């Protein structure tokens, strides 16, 4: 895990501080052993960590020719984290970012203050790539070591269900797959999430290619 950097702010930011209607919203459709389990909708803190958010957004859409679609959650520890994003080896040993093999820690402003935080998994300082995790509880010991870059806006019930399939050593008891993913655009008039089934004919959802 990466050490504390001098540029990190002393005060923590809450979800309310981090939310912005200009931030990108993305989704994962989840299957558990090939059965649909639901959708996770996430807001990315592009106004705080733009490079980190852009990496995750582009991996959700697959616009660079690779991404999260059909990747798995390979490490799940109950009451701690659900980790995925190994888009190369599918077992936690690989990863690939839109910037290359890895990229630098951007900011540690957002703290791991509760469940539903999106944060980058790493192998030390400045080793971010495509692997990420979603917290299942407050995890202060991860602050200043992992870059938190978003939160679960809807579908925390799906995240909790995934968390129940974990073990102490992290190996899931079932196969949890991101069967589809992409970006969801906000309604300009109501600032509400517009879901894909309402917009497929209007070009308002950017998805991974099939």
Ranges of each domain in the chain: 20-199
Catalytic residue among 23, 55, 122, 131: 122
- 133 included as an active-site residue: yes
Catalytic residue among 132, 133, 149, 151: 133
For residues 126 and 105, the answer to whether their CB atoms sit within 8 Å is yes
- 125 included as an active-site residue: no
SS3 160: helix
pTM of the shown model: 0.81
User: pLDDT by residue for the chain (210 residues), tens digit each?
Assistant: 333 333 333 345 555 555 555 899 999 999 999 999 999 999 999 999 999 999 999 999 999 999 999 999 999 999 999 999 999 999 999 999 999 999 999 999 999 999 999 999 999 999 999 999 999 999 999 999 999 999 999 999 999 999 999 999 999 999 999 999 999 986 544 444 444 444 443 444 555 433
Domain spanning 20-199: CATH superfamily? Cyclophilin-like (2.40.100.10)
Q: Which region, left, alpha or beta, applies to residue 92 given φ > 0 means left and ψ of -120 to 50 means alpha?
A: left
Whole-number pLDDT of residue 187: 59
Whole-number pLDDT of residue 4: 33
Alpha-carbon distances, residue 205 vs 134, 164, 182, 199 (angstroms): 23, 30, 7, 7
For residues 116 and 152, the answer to whether their CB atoms sit within 8 Å is yes
Whole-number pLDDT of residue 19: 54
Contact partners, residue 194, CB within 8 Å, separation at least 6 = 184, 185, 186, 187, 204
Whole-number pLDDT of residue 22: 84
- 83 included as an active-site residue: yes
- 89 included as an active-site residue: no
């Amino acid at each position: 895990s990466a050490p504390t950097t001098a540029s990190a702010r002393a005060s923590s930011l809450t979800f309310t501080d981090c939310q912005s209607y200009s931030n990108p919203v993305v989704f994962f459709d989840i299957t558990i052993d090939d059965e649909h389990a639901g959708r996770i909708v996430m807001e990315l803190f592009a106004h705080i960590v733009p490079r980190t958010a852009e990496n995750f957004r582009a991996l959700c859409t697959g616009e660079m020719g690779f991404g999260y679609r059909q990747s798995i959650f390979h490490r799940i520890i109950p009451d701690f984290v659900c980790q995925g994003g190994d888009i190369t080896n599918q077992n936690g040993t690989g990863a690939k970012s839109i910037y290359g093999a890895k990229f630098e820690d951007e900011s540690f402003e957002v703290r791991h203050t509760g469940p539903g935080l999106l944060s980058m998994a790493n192998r030390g300082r400045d080793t971010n790539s495509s692997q990420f995790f979603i917290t299942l509880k407050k995890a202060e010991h991860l602050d200043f070591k992992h870059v938190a870059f978003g939160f679960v806006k809807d579908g925390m019930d799906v995240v909790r269900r995934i968390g129940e399939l974990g073990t102490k050593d992290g190996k899931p008891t079932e196969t949890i797959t991101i069967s589809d993913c992409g970006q969801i655009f906000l309604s300009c008039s109501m600032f509400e999430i517009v879901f894909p089934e309402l917009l497929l004919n209007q070009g308002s959802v950017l998805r991974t290619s099939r």
